[in-house]
Amino acid sequence: MSYIFTFFFLISLVCLALGLIRPAIFTKLFKNKPTRKQIGIVFGIMIFVSLVLVGASPAPEGYERQASEIKVEPVLIPEDKVIEPELVELKPEDEKSEETQDETTPVEPNLTSTVPTIDNNSVIEAEAKPEPTIEQNLARDLFQVTEVVDGDTIKISTIGTLRLIGIDTPETRDPRKPVQCFGREASNKAKELLSGKKVYLEYDPANKIDKYGRTLAYVYREDGLFYNAEMIKQGFAHSYVQFPHPRLDEFNIYQREARENNLGFWAANTCNGNTTQAAAGSSSKSITPLPISPEVNKDGFITGSCASLKKLGLGNFREGDPNYTKSRDGDDDGLACEMK
């Protein structure tokens, strides 16, 4: 029926428009020429009635069937995003109230966001870094120790002269100083620990080369022995505090323990910690000073070959000494005119 009323509404609307434009068209309908007012009243009533009838008529069957066929697709939520409703234990009075609610209005589950809690027992404490195993050491780049110069200086394959980071041993080869207390013992200990051994190196990224061009490194033996630390622990080397490095605090602890236990040069019957004194059997005076002669220029450099200098008792010039030159350092170990 709604279609009929709708058609009736459209006809009335068209007739109203035509009658207002040319009233003479509807002369036969009104038996005489109608006025626009008459046409407006008649067709206005017809339009009103048709609108009321269209609104009161039932919807078409096809429309109801189409509406019933509309499907609502469920929204799939990933399992890891599903929030479980909070489970609350109900007391007897709560059960009654729940029954009342079921009869009246549906009760929606209380969805609350879960707040993660920290279990103190699950916190993993920081563990001390384990010493590398022999297998790990073998996987590193190994270098052959070719010579032990003294307690804190060695030579290794492919690199050359290496200065040990963080340790200072008594001097034995400085031409400006006598052999210092416990110097020979420190050199012998170094030879015992490193001669003919393979080692791997650990560097301080901030300081890899010293002012003499020598490589700076911590030295580990192939079996994992940390040479720098071992020399301090046994009282053969001081912790070198003049130049900060990553293991300075660690080395200071080793030195304090060695001193408290009177090890090495800390013992009262050796040096009592004072390694600047001359070793037993060594002159307390410095090695023969550079002679003042016309051969010496204003910078203190003595001309001549290493052989002529050794006859004067001069040699073992380290880098930085006026008499050190690359030509006199044939093996490029940082020591010119070497004397045994």
145: which strand partners? 156
CB atoms within 10 A of CB 265: 26
Quickly tell me which residue has 């630390």 as its tokens.
Answer: 229
In contact, 269 and 181? CB cutoff 8 Å: no
328 is known as an active-site residue: no
In contact, 6 and 54? CB cutoff 8 Å: yes
In contact, 139 and 194? CB cutoff 8 Å: no
Q: Which DSSP symbol is given to 204? A: B
Q: DSSP characters for 19-53?
A: HHH-GGGGHHHHSSPPPHHHHHHHHHHHHHHHHHH
131 is known as an active-site residue: no
Question: Which of these is catalytic: 163, 173, 221, 318?
Answer: 163
In contact, 290 and 312? CB cutoff 8 Å: no
Task: Please report, to the nearest 10 degrees, the dihedral formed by the alpha carbons of residues 308, 313, 316, 321 taken in order.
Answer: -80
In contact, 236 and 186? CB cutoff 8 Å: yes
Q: 229 in helix, strand or coil?
A: helix
Task: Please report, to the nearest 10 degrees, the dihedral formed by the alpha carbons of residues 98, 101, 107, 110 taken in order.
Answer: -40
Question: Which of these is catalytic: 171, 173, 184, 221?
Answer: 171
146 burial level (CB within 10 Å; 0-12, 13-18, 19+): middle
* Alpha helix positions (H), 195-338: 227-233, 248-260, 306-311
163 is known as an active-site residue: yes
The type of residue at 15 is C
CB under 8 Å to 285, separation ≥6 — which residues?
A: 178
Question: Which of these is catalytic: 173, 184, 185, 214?
Answer: 214
In contact, 203 and 186? CB cutoff 8 Å: no
Q: Which DSSP symbol is given to 310? A: H
Residues designated as active site: 163, 171, 214
